[in-house]
Amino acid sequence: MKKTLLLISSLIASYSTQAQDSTAVTPGKFTFSGYMDTYYFGNFNNPKSQSNLGLNGTGVGNARAFDQKAGQFGIGLVQAKAVYSANKVDAVMDLTFGPFADLGNYGNYAGFLGPGSTSLAIKQAYITYKASSKLSFTAGQFGTHIGYEVIDAPVNFNYSLSNLFNNGPFYHIGLKAQYAFSDRASLMVGMVNNVDNLFDNNKKKGLISQLFISPASGWNVYLNAIVSNEASESIDAVPADDASYALFDLTTTYQVTSKFFLGLNAASGSQKGDYQGFSGPATSRSWGGVAVYSNYAFTDKFALGVRYETFDNKNGARALTDAAGVGASVNSITVTGNITAADGHLLFKPELRIDSYSADKFEKNNGSLTPSQATLGMAAIFKF
């Protein structure tokens, strides 16, 4: 009898333990990562301003997104990224500091306490709720889905950023949902505030979307869009309904072989009325561009890549202009090497870039102007 009772007690205890294990919550995983970068680029025009930006009619140019200094050493960005991931939720706190962080968050120049707010340090801060294995919801501030390149220097093959990237958007604040039909197809839709701004400037919201498909192994295609109302109801004479902004973007990548990679980014945008406080006509103006990427890994520690880009802003819709301040077009070619050292923690990126504008854009040391410039230099990136 005692043996029977002991056996029953043992079975009950075993079942109870299994039941507890089956209902136990798997602990989440916390990761911390980041990077920092520094660079030096010489400019063959030898501009007195020691700048790669060129001129736009007001003395300040816009030819480069981040690597703006010429003939001097510069610090780019310092990132500290914390991620918590569990079965049902992910949380991302992505903070950045330095000159490139300010440029990447230009819409956040002032927070509740005015200029110099800690809002400048926020690159991303969002929560993702995983409702199921296929459906998730994300709320907060997150990097844009538009385009081929990102702000993170270790992720891009080239160090200098394209004009397609420079003309944005950079980030969004809002809510989005993503549904995975399969490993080869998914759809994202969302509602966000106005483009690249900490605070919305009107009561209307923008719509974003992304369709991802993978037609074949190694081939990824992203169809991206954003449609938004950019008028500020407090200062614009143009009614909010007449200040629209729309951008449609195609990004595709193909890993041809284990060593050879191809990429393409094409975008077409339009806007009318005032845009984030800049006065504009009520008629629609357009811009667009195409960038082609290729790189080849000669060894595990050395690769070479080329980017060719053409960008057309002759309608003057965006900030890219010639020295007279008139909308311009530009063709750019960038050749970048990637050298990996220190067990993958250190990247060296020597780079040659040539920009050719449709009209005079860049200054020379003697004060004259020229439509083109060439820069040559090196970036060093530490990542962990």
Q: Which one has a higher pLDDT value, 194 or 379?
A: 379
pLDDT for the residue numbered 233:
61
Q: Model confidence at 26, in pLDDT bands (50, 70, 90)?
A: confident
Distance CA 130, CA 86 (A): 9
Phi-psi region of 119 (alpha: psi -120 to 50; beta: other; left: phi over 0): alpha
List the one residue out of 90, 164, 98 whose CA is nearest residue 130: 90
User: What whole-number distance in Å separates Cα of residue 373 and Cα of residue 356?
Assistant: 7
Tens of pLDDT, residue by residue over 48-102, are 889 999 998 776 678 998 999 999 999 999 999 999 999 999 999 999 999 898 8
Q: Which tokens belong to 97? A: 């500091």
Higher confidence at residue 104 or residue 215? 215
Q: What is the pLDDT of residue 283?
A: 77
Q: What is the pLDDT of residues 273-283, one digit of tens each?
A: 755 545 566 67
Omega of the bond prior to 169 within 30 degrees of 0, cis?
yes
pLDDT at position 138 is 98
Higher pLDDT, 50 or 119: 50
When pLDDT is averaged across residues 96-109 and rounded to a whole number, the result is 80
**HSE-CB of 136 using CA atoms within 13 angstroms:** 19
Question: Which architecture, in CATH terms, is 26-383?
Answer: Beta Barrel (2.40)
**pLDDT of 111 over the 60 cut:** no
Interior/surface letters 326-363, b for 16+ CB within 10 angstroms, e for the rest: ebbbbbbebbbbbbbeeeeeebebebbbebbbbebbbb
Residue 168 confidence (pLDDT)? 82
pLDDT > 70? residue 6: no
**CA 15-18-21 angle, 5° bins:** 150
Position 157 confidence tier, pLDDT thresholds 50, 70, 90: very high
Alpha-carbon distances of 213 from 12, 105, 186, rounded to whole Å: 50, 30, 7
pLDDT given at position 59: 65
Residue 277 CB neighbours (<10 A)? 11
Q: What is the pLDDT of residue 23?
A: 46
| Mean pLDDT of all residues belonging to the chain | 88
Is the pLDDT confidence value at 268 over 80?
Answer: yes
Phi and psi for 24 in degrees, rounded to 5?
A: -65, 145
